[in-house]
Chains A and B, each alone.
Chain A
């Protein structure tokens, strides 16, 4: 019956009684139909009423087989209703070490840290709904930093999708803009191909996270689907053909620019590490006698002791490096993306420089900064190609340039060390702590930063000498990253000592993973730099917001008691004299340990480039007079 607004319905009494009783209409499928049976079965499955018949090969088996075929040996995960079929068979696959994390975000960051430390694809898993949304921050972190990761989530059975079932959320809709690719798998038969494709996409070209959402009935369904060959996988993604070799013509143009430049500088980014091109970078730098600066994620691309290693650039980078960029006549950017933390104001960035920009992702070239010579290609192949084409340079011809760089460096290192002056009052200063950690670990450990001041102190003062020794959430800036990512890094590279360097703010976001460290005896040493503040927030409030310190003060617990409650040995240092001792004590422990450093409360990281300003507008001191 159609009715226009305002029209009164006819009185029921005046209508003749219907000949038949009206049948109740419902969106629920009628009994006896195939659809109704499916919905019924799905509902039962959600209540765990239906156990899969044991030991026929089900979707969950196909998933485990596929992971093993891809070389996965560690799975960071947290169980939940719809992924119970996986947990039911997980024990049959001892090849995979399952780490039961305490929160899916921790599992996601652990997979990320594992990937960055090992160069392999990290794998994490969570259940539908909240398990999946808890993974989102970790997936986004991996996306912004181009980390190869496969995130697996379960979803409700097919027949319940779209019904707002218990713990149902459109997670592929959520992860779509923050993954390299994602899948919703609705059939057990699709699992082998999708997993193989996901690993291929995650690891090739510009790496990134790939998310696979699998319905519960796909995990439970019987399947005989075979695992595809690599050729099958490649044929299945015809739109994905990354350019590896730089275009010969562009390489020639670049080589010509390099030969003409008198103040050239190499900017090394994460791409150098991802492509494992540190050897090629060194060879190129040595042949051309061009100094190397690095981005936050490019740390470790060159040994900091190398004579051509010049320093860390950007917002909190070294002043001498930013000066060199601002006066360079040629920038050779390899595997970096001119992030705003690197360039500051683009209008005033490197005003005298022509730019050669090599990146494997064409979309990065010309995105933030207009460049003169674009090269699309893998960092290793491009560096190799360039090294072949450039003439060897006699260092003597760059004597004036090098002398000026050395002057700037001396001046900058002399003035910005202990920039806040906190040490003057005998307080423990964070830069001293991270410098000692670097020294006492012989600069060979894996150092995992959190976000904020601790991250910048670590990047500036620890001195990195090995590729993949520095791990940091650069793009997304995810607080709480350090401890779980260090957990993954320790498993990804068990040869190296692993240190999580964190602040009191970030630590309190994911400290539940202390339990995972303790139970699985994962030997992460945590250096907790506690200034009882959100230090970077406080610094900005002091300098940019006229000292309005709203919410910057952050009370924390007794961190020694907290760690000990989890069964993690803990130490505390409040003075400079104690630092070496506690570091050595933590190192002596076979397993995880935590050191609580009570550092100066109001120490700032200098220099600092205020937002919106350029690399030439660095703030170097605030409120204290330099001696």
Chain B
């Protein structure tokens, strides 16, 4: 503490805090980490392809109270390395905390939040839609509009294969719902950075 009180006075110190001895109003409450606005985040996680690694990731997310919206896992072209694409909702700080927690897993090699990056995002959906002779053509037209295709036809139904971003598929599903969806399956988002950059090549192994 400076011995000269005149230099302290009422002006906030450089760091924006008023010195306690001179505070006239109580300071604002300290911000809680993770209490900001939630939005959708996409994490790309590269992991060693070891038994139980999916369980470790899933268990950690559950234990730390992060709710995974979708999760797609596959091998990569690199031996022993698998890639997960994980989408979840949370504020930026909470998702950063999720990423840091993932790094605590020994089998996790890299975690990258690509939410703010330029990416190609795709997920694949198969949707079995109830159709009749009367409306089949209509359904096919809608599907074409969404650059999907019909991969199976029966008297009472068609299977629609569609791919695109989560939002695009949501939109298609919403349209098809009026015809009656018998069942549907979606892979969850898979993403890749646009341009020459590579998350896998950035790995230092």
Residues of A within 8 A of B (CB): 172-173, 176-177, 180-181, 184, 201, 237-240, 257, 260, 262-263, 327, 329, 346-354, 361-363, 365-370, 372, 397-401, 404
Contact = CB atoms under 8 A, between A and B. Distances in A.
Given A262-B2, A352-B18, 13 more contacts: A176-B56, A177-B59, A177-B60, A181-B105, A201-B106, A239-B106, A262-B1, A329-B15, A352-B19, A352-B23, A354-B17, A365-B100, A370-B33
Given A176-B56, A181-B106, A239-B48, A363 B30 contact: no
Nearest to B17: A352
Contacts of A263: 1, 20
Q: Which residue of A201, A365, A367 has the most chain B CB atoms within 10 A of its CB atom?
A: A367
Contacts of B51: 184
Contacts of A327: 20
Contacts of B2: 262, 397
A253 B203 CA distance: 29
A263 B8 CA distance: 13
11 contacts: A180-B104, A180-B106, A181-B105, A238-B203, A239-B105, A262-B2, A348-B30, A352-B23, A362-B100, A369-B33, A399-B3
Contacts of A367: 33, 97, 100
B14 interface: yes
Contacts of A260: 14-15
Interface in B13-39: 13-15, 17-20, 23, 26-33
A239 B30 contact: no
Contacts of B205: 238
Q: Which residue of B18, B47, B97 has the most chain A CB atoms within 10 A of its CB atom?
A: B97
B108 interface: yes
Contacts of A369: 30, 33
Nearest to A403: B1
A262 B13 CA distance: 11
B184 interface: no
Q: Which residue of B14, B93, B100 has the most chain A CB atoms within 10 A of its CB atom?
A: B100
A177 B107 contact: no
Contacts of A404: 1
B52 interface: yes
A324 B14 CA distance: 20
Given A176-B56, A367-B97, A368-B33, A361 B19 contact: no
B63 interface: yes
A363 B103 contact: yes
A111 to B, nearest CB: 21
Contact of A370 (B18, B30, B105, B108): B30
Contact of A400 (B3, B47, B56, B96): B3
Interface of B: 1-3, 13-15, 17-20, 23, 26-33, 47-48, 51-52, 55-56, 59-60, 63, 93, 96-97, 100-101, 103-109, 203, 205
B15 A354 contact: yes
Contacts of B17: 329, 352-354
A295 B32 CA distance: 21
A201 B105 CA distance: 11
Contacts of A365: 100
A351 B3 contact: no
Given A363-B104, A397-B3, A351 B32 contact: no
A349 B109 CA distance: 35
A404 B3 CA distance: 13
A197 to B, nearest CB: 9
A239 B109 contact: yes
Q: Which residue of B27, B33, B48 has the most chain A CB atoms within 10 A of its CB atom?
A: B33
B1 A370 contact: no
A238 B107 CA distance: 8
Contact of A366 (B15, B30, B33): B33
A180 B108 CA distance: 12
A347 B32 contact: yes
A94 B27 CA distance: 63
B30 A401 contact: no
B63 to A, nearest CB: 5
A329 B19 contact: yes
A293 to B, nearest CB: 17
A350 B109 CA distance: 36
Contacts of B55: 173, 176
Nearest to A235: B205
Contacts of A239: 47-48, 103, 105-109
Nearest to A186: B51
B33 A400 contact: no
**Closest 6 A/B residue pairs (Cβ):** A363-B100, A347-B29, A351-B27, A262-B1, A401-B1, A239-B109
Given A238-B109, A367-B97, A347 B20 contact: no
Contacts of B48: 238-239
A383 B56 CA distance: 34
A401 B28 CA distance: 24
B108 to A, nearest CB: 5
Given A176-B56, A240-B106, A349 B30 contact: yes
A225 B18 CA distance: 65
Contact of A348 (B3, B29, B96, B106): B29
A370 B15 contact: no
Contacts of B26: 351
A176 B15 contact: no
Q: Which residue of B3, B48, B55 has the most chain A CB atoms within 10 A of its CB atom?
A: B3
Contact of A398 (B1, B23, B60): B1
A525 B1 CA distance: 46
A367 B23 CA distance: 29
Nearest to B102: A363
Contacts of B31: 370
A363 B60 contact: no
A365 B93 CA distance: 11
A365 B30 CA distance: 15
Q: Which residue of A263, A348, A351 has the most chain B CB atoms within 10 A of its CB atom?
A: A351
A354 B27 CA distance: 13
Contacts of A238: 48, 109, 203, 205
Contacts of B101: 363
Contacts of B14: 260
A238 B81 CA distance: 11
A106 to B, nearest CB: 27
A476 to B, nearest CB: 15
Contacts of A172: 52
Q: Which residue of B14, B29, B63 has the most chain A CB atoms within 10 A of its CB atom?
A: B29
Nearest to A237: B106
